[in-house]
Structure 1
């Protein structure tokens, strides 16, 4: 099959990581795969090397004016990708986010998680990207349930894979280098933003330091399209009030990430909204104790492999337990769970879905999508 997978960025976010791994796994099965995306800030390639079996189409996307709002940047992103994309060569057009789904017309859409935006342009983009696609994929049953409850739409549930070997067998020298630099540390990946529960983690860290004064909080990642400067300013002010100084690494080179994860003493994942939790699954692959927010989706995905917390105090207690107590049963469950999620299996399930959709491409405004809009708008 000729397959187009579309994302909105070349930079490391969960949906972009998913897109590249899925593309490579589909290509390894013999499919003809092209990844389309926007090259922001002069990017001409992705944050990591991509298999030469995958074609890449990176559409230049120039920086906007300094006062450009997020809403206008989203509209410009959609227009830029729409002007460049030609759907005719493809049997399947599969969008991984609301920007690409708005740009490409009839498509399959993976709904990784459901957002609730207040910016009008983003809210409209999000809604269209749910009701316009003719088929949907979700990476967890919990998110598929949200899609069904909110819009009356059915989705195929295909969980993420994980690059298990990459995180399970890291270079001892690289791990030692991180430990030499950082000491003992709790790691989180995803940056400082509301959805990641960063303020709650900060409060938890202040409590954790009472019993573990030498443990550092390390925050990696944070590449995003959105403007979280106000939230980050609040986070920095609260850190100063609490007298804590987390280590904020920002985006980490992809080659360095597995050792950074594997060298951590615990992994914190207090997200308020997730579709699967790929970074947390990578931590399990590395054998790192995991503490996550008690959300239905994370209960579904991680089950007995993680500790669950709702409040900062509970998060601190869970992290403290992970730092001091061996838990071989949970460790083994985590490794087994991570090893069971493979990208080849995810690719095979996507192919089964794609083949079932043969001949079902619909034009915008089909009766099923009008019905979804009507259900969403009804009181």
Structure 2
């Protein structure tokens, strides 16, 4: 493609969740290809992205939501049938507010783009409204995975974000199949990537400082990234870790990350109750650093012995690529999309619903021969996934979309 494109990418947050990371890396790779990229993101705390960007960005200020204590009370009132207002779950209200904040900001935006590309349900719903008002010509949505919600409002938003875009993309063959089966949507597959220069086993002298800062002093060190939530299977992982401690009392489990739009408080309470019942002390056996600085993430991988990721649903699993590039042996779920790029020779694949299977893998991988064989067998995986390759795939799709749009306009003019 010779024409320089103006591309707007949209994401629901500035926090380093998988979809946000995908947006930033894609945006920078497209910019490096000579195109003009601007990333629009909701910025709920006014801090901005977790790292500087090599492309333009516009941060959309958000109104404060209810404070946490009142939020939880309102949620309980909702479940008890005592909710007022419009009968929406408080989480519904937040999502509705976030969609409107996108709309309000973009309605005032004078900048026009060739491509409008959403990476999430929230911005997709906003772009749908702007398109229907004739303010943008069309838009694309990348579906990282399909969710299911108990809330009718959230499910409608989710379904609309898949059915309404002029084109949907996805990040794995599994989700491509699911999109067609569930929605009859044909979605081309584009790849994720990993920055092999950033994520590697090469130490840079910052490891000792981070270990001291976080209290990483055990053996072995298990790491997972994604926070405490149902999709990450945190309870099963904790149950497995409790068993590991019986034979390896010096072991530590690090669960980093965790910023999300949704409220998982009941699940988190179960998690912490289980830890308390088994005398698992936070900051000792269990380390919860939360959302970390970008420069610390790659260092954190090098502070661990094993990456364990028994997730029950992922779009792809960017953190797995990062861990593999960092030369860590991998334990993950024996489900797609992981099985699209991992085999039992490159990772210990487990039943995510079985804490016993997770325990067995967490103990087996401590065998140095087992761990080293896994690392050797997955060493070529990062070479297959680069953000530049992903950007090239996107540009071909953008070009085709623009050509089809131009043909449609010409056809309409000739009528």
User: Secondary structure in 2 aligned to 1:296?
Assistant: coil
**Match in the other structure for 1:334:** 378
Task: Provide Cα deviations, 1:242-273, integer angstroms capped at 9, x if missing partner.
Answer: 33231111111111111111220101111111
**Match in the other structure for 2:333:** 293
Bigger Rg over Cα: 2
Cα displacement (A) at 1:26: 0.2
**Match in the other structure for 1:317:** 360
Counterparts of residues 1-379 of structure 1 (less than 5 Å): 1-43=5-47, 45-51=48-54, 54-66=55-67, 67=70, 69-85=90-106, 86=109, 89-105=112-128, 106-179=138-211, 181-183=215-217, 184=219, 185-245=221-281, 246-303=286-343, 304-310=345-351, 311-327=354-370, 328-361=372-405
State how many pairs are aligned.
359
Task: Provide Cα deviations, 1:263-304, integer angstroms capped at 9, x if missing partner.
Answer: 201011111110100011100100011100111211113223
Moved >6 Å (runs of 4+): none
Change in CA separation of 1:358 and 1:283 when aligned onto 2, cut-off 3 Å:
same
Cα displacement (A) at 1:340: 2.1
Cα displacement (A) at 1:216: 0.5
Cα displacement (A) at 1:157: 0.7
**Match in the other structure for 1:371:** none
* Higher mean displacement: 297-306 or 18-27: 297-306
Cα displacement (A) at 1:332: 2.0
CA distance in 1, matches of 2:405, 2:347: 40
**Match in the other structure for 1:369:** none
Cα displacement (A) at 1:342: 0.4
CA distance in 1, matches of 2:329, 2:97: 42
* Higher mean displacement: 304-313 or 64-73: 64-73
CA distance in 2, matches of 1:358, 1:351: 10
Q: Is the 8 A contact 2:92 2:153 kept in 1?
A: yes
Unpaired runs of 5+ in structure 2? Answer: 72-89, 129-137, 407-415
Cα displacement (A) at 1:169: 4.7
CA distance in 1, matches of 2:211, 2:257: 18
**Match in the other structure for 1:374:** none
